[in-house]
Amino acid sequence: MPADPTDGKQLVFQQAEPLDEWSAEELDAPRLLFNHEISLLAFNRRVLTLARDESVPLLERLKFLCISCTNLDEFFEVRVASIRQRIRHGANQPGADGLSPQSTMAAIRERVLEMVESQYHVLEEELLPALHDQGIRIIARNRFTQRQRRWLHQHFRSQILPVLSPLGLDPAHPFPRILNKSLNFAVSLAGRDAFGRSSAMALVRAPRSLPRIIRIPKSYSAGPDDFVFLSSIVHEFIDELFPGMEVIGSYQFRVTRNSELLVDEEEVEDLARALEGELMERGFAEAVRLEVASGCPEHVVNMLASKFGVELDDVYQCNGPVNLNRMVAVYDLADRPDLKFAPFNPHIPKSLVASNDLFASIRRRDHVLHHPYDSFQPVLDLARQAARDPQVLAIKQTLYRTGVDSMLADLLIEAARAGKDVTVIVELRARFDEEANISLATRMQEAGVQVVYGVVGHKAHAKMMLIVRREGRGLRRYVHLGTGNYHQGTAKTYTDWGMLSADPDIAQDVHRVFQLLSGFGRAQPLKRLVQSPFNLHDFVIGRIERETELAQAGKPGLVMAKMNGLTEAGVIRALYRASRAGVTVRLVVRGSCCLRPGVPGLSEDIRVRSVLGRFLEHSRVYHFGNDGEPETWASSADWMGRNLFQRVEVCFPIDDPEAAERVRKESIDLVFRDNVQAWELDGQGRWRLACGERAPLHLQELLMQSATDV
């Protein structure tokens, strides 16, 4: 196999041609923007480099490889599916970057081919040998010992064969519906069966009830951590599915389908019921990619492509198992803590320990939490105290992604059963979590929770909790606002900011946002919060323009921000204008970035960095210099069109100077000092590790250590 083009430090994944010359009149020109899809693929290549990083524990490297494969699946299910729909419907107008849908697809294929080759290279040439050296072996078919083969044969007959249902393809057995991302085998046959039929082709589907990784008992192997792919076992004994026939060859394949749910929200009467119907069909939607084993004959590839309605440019050959992401099971099966990240116990501020009166603590001052370095437990403890406090009258909550077993949902149910008025905005359309959210909504409704599904045409993406409590002769409101979801699992692995506050103006604003989400009425003016889709875009543009005017007047201008994606053309052009005026712009963008930094005369005062590591950088923070009176904000919104125009988001101020300094330092300043895991983007779309000669500074490890030392 050719060497992986990624050397681990210099990621040459060019997104665009060099921008050597441009004129001021071109500020709105498409060529000043990178392509969104290609930028997303560049992000996934950065994820893949973590699988090659020898400073990362070995099993974590394997997990990063699997994450890169899962990310690529979602890229096809969502981004490629959307482009394919545009092409099919004749919508060929170019995007903001000037590329037509067809040109974008050609650029995607070129980079995905390279990425897939790199994924299998990393697996075969780096990870599997390293795992083998550590006593964790993935046994290939040609490496089965005689004793292992006997055990696997018995396992096949007792645990696998009874579940399989081979399907011979003939006029009585047409090509079946194949579920999205399921493992399948195309089998070439010769001979005649009991009925005299001579079908040349059959299919075997591997049910999802079967584990994709099987541990071989220690008594049959050299150690406790010998594993084999389900696909290897099926390949080895597939002839037993076709007694009396000759199996000429069997070839793995997997199809990826469009996973967008198409529901006309303005026409349906019950969104939950409509989505349930769509979910049943999503697994069989339009095919957008076909993966086949590298040895699959051309005529079989052509047959499969024809059956799935894809072009040959949608076919990707895999030099290994087509369901590579299922190797993540090895991470859990191998009891090797020495090959994983060391356990980390997040910090809980003393004032927010569960034994305290959290309401009193929040009344005294706002509390800002940086997850996962600060524990998410105080948020759960606040919900628990609210559920059990007889003085609490009402709780309002937004839920976007919460997980299947949500402690927070249980507490909301407990509060409703205790007689409190509980209203929950459940966003059913959180992609890939629709089924879980429908189940959650049903469970809460049965307990007496008032469940609302947000606003037609706009996803409710804001992260808010509002608690109404009787105190003295009146009512006081307490709020939690955050940049991440109310998910106790991801709160341990995603970096996010949250704020607990009893500020009357902030609480009033949150109440008004909830009114909009659950009822009808015009948007009321907010004193402290900023809200999309109404004014967040104007707010961001306005703050950037204010810094631009300061720079034009000879004063320092400063814009700093951290987010998951920067793709909205209006914001990018405002940043270009700011840079040209002399504003210093520092951006931390984890994923897709369509802005070209460092272009002379256009963006030379703009730097863009991205950090990837143990934790997923997920927080959104905006900071503006404001002529010596700095403003720091946190938000649920990225600077992307969908967040600024098509979702309900909130942006909230961090007023306490000490907290604001911490937010800015930990989210942005330290990123530009990190010389271990920070990547920097240049004007051609190339990402390079920001290495330096000074002492290593590892952002996430530094913050973990700081949390431990508190």
Question: Does residue 680 sit in the same domain as residue 623?
Answer: yes
| 408-443 b/e (C-beta count within 10 Å ≥ 16 → b) | bbbbbbbbbeeebebbbbbbbbbeebbebbbebbee
Question: Does residue 34 sit in the same domain as residue 76?
Answer: yes
Least confident of 242-246, 296-300, 337-341, 368-372: 242-246
Give me the mean pLDDT over the 521-540 stretch: 93
Percent of the chain topping pLDDT 70: 90
pLDDT of residue 4: 43
Q: How confident is the model at residue 406 (pLDDT cuts 50, 70, 90)?
A: confident
Q: Which of 481, 498, 526 is the last residue of a domain?
A: 526
**Phi, psi torsion values for 88, nearest 5 degrees:** -65, -35
Question: Does residue 471 sit in the same domain as residue 390?
Answer: yes
pLDDT of residue 6: 46
| 472 token code pair | 């003295």
Q: What is the DSSP string of 562-585?
A: EES-B--HHHHHHHHHHHHHT-EE
Question: Does residue 554 sit in the same domain as residue 687?
Answer: yes
| 14 token code pair | 């060019």
Q: Which of 386, 428, 433, 445 has its CA nearest to residue 411?
A: 386
In whole angstroms, give the CA distance from residue 120 to residue 49: 13
Question: Does residue 188 sit in the same domain as residue 146?
Answer: yes
| 690 token code pair | 């920001």
| Residue 421 placed within a domain | yes
| Residue 478 placed within a domain | yes
| Range with top average pLDDT, 5-14, 457-466, 686-695 | 457-466
| Residue 127 placed within a domain | no
Q: What is the DSSP string of 617-676?
A: E--EEEEE-GGGS-EEEEES--BSHHHHHSEEEEEEE--SHHHHHHHHIIIIIGGGT--S
Judge whether residue 579 has pLDDT over 90: yes
DSSP E strand boundaries for 131-183: 137-138, 167-168
Question: Does residue 522 sit in the same domain as residue 542?
Answer: no
Question: Does residue 369 sit in the same domain as residue 387?
Answer: yes
Judge whether residue 285 has pLDDT over 60: yes
Give me the mean pLDDT over the 14-29 stretch: 70
For Cα atoms 477, 403, 706, give the angle at the middle one, nearest 5 degrees.
70
Question: Does residue 379 sit in the same domain as residue 490?
Answer: yes
Question: Does residue 402 sit in the same domain as residue 282?
Answer: no
| 113 token code pair | 């081919």
Cis amide linkage into residue 372, ω under 30° from 0:
yes
Q: Which of 339, 372, 394 is the last residue of a domain?
A: 339
- Give the pLDDT confidence of 104-121 residue by residue, as tens digits: 999 999 999 999 999 999
- Any idea what the CATH number is for the domain that residue 67 is in? 1.20.58.310
Half-sphere exposure of 361 (CA within 13 A, CB side): 19
- Any idea what the CATH number is for the domain that residue 295 is in? 3.30.1840.10
Q: What is the DSSP string of 78-145?
A: IIIHHHHHHHHTT-----TTS--HHHHHHHHHHHHHHHHHHHHHIIIIIIHHHHHHTT-EE--GGG--
Question: 233 and 149 in contact (C-beta within 8 Å)?
Answer: no
pLDDT of residue 14: 54
| Residue tagged active-site, from 461, 480, 537, 698 | 461
| 460 token code pair | 């409710």
pLDDT of residue 192: 77
Least confident of 102-106, 172-176, 297-301: 172-176
| Residue 429 placed within a domain | yes
| Residue 626 placed within a domain | yes
| Residue 3 placed within a domain | no
**Phi, psi torsion values for 141, nearest 5 degrees:** -60, -40
Question: Does residue 82 sit in the same domain as residue 36?
Answer: yes
- CA-based end-to-end distance of the chain: 49
| Total domains, the chain | 4
Q: How confident is the model at residue 269 (pLDDT cuts 50, 70, 90)?
A: very low
pLDDT of residue 20: 66
pLDDT of residue 693: 67
Q: Is 461 a catalytic residue?
A: yes
Task: Tell me the whole-structure pTM to 2 decimals.
Answer: 0.92
| Residue 344 placed within a domain | no
Question: 671 and 380 in contact (C-beta within 8 Å)?
Answer: no
pLDDT of residue 266: 43
DSSP 217: P
Question: 392 and 365 in contact (C-beta within 8 Å)?
Answer: no
pLDDT of residue 458: 84
| Residue 497 placed within a domain | yes
Question: Does residue 334 sit in the same domain as residue 360?
Answer: no
Whose tokens are 């529901």? That residue is 263
Q: Residue 73 belongs to what domain range?
A: 10-18+27-121
Taking the mean position of all CA atoms in its chain, how far away is CA 245? Answer: 46
- Any idea what the CATH number is for the domain that residue 477 is in? 3.30.870.10
Q: Which of 479, 508, 526 is the last residue of a domain?
A: 526
Question: Does residue 592 sit in the same domain as residue 672?
Answer: yes
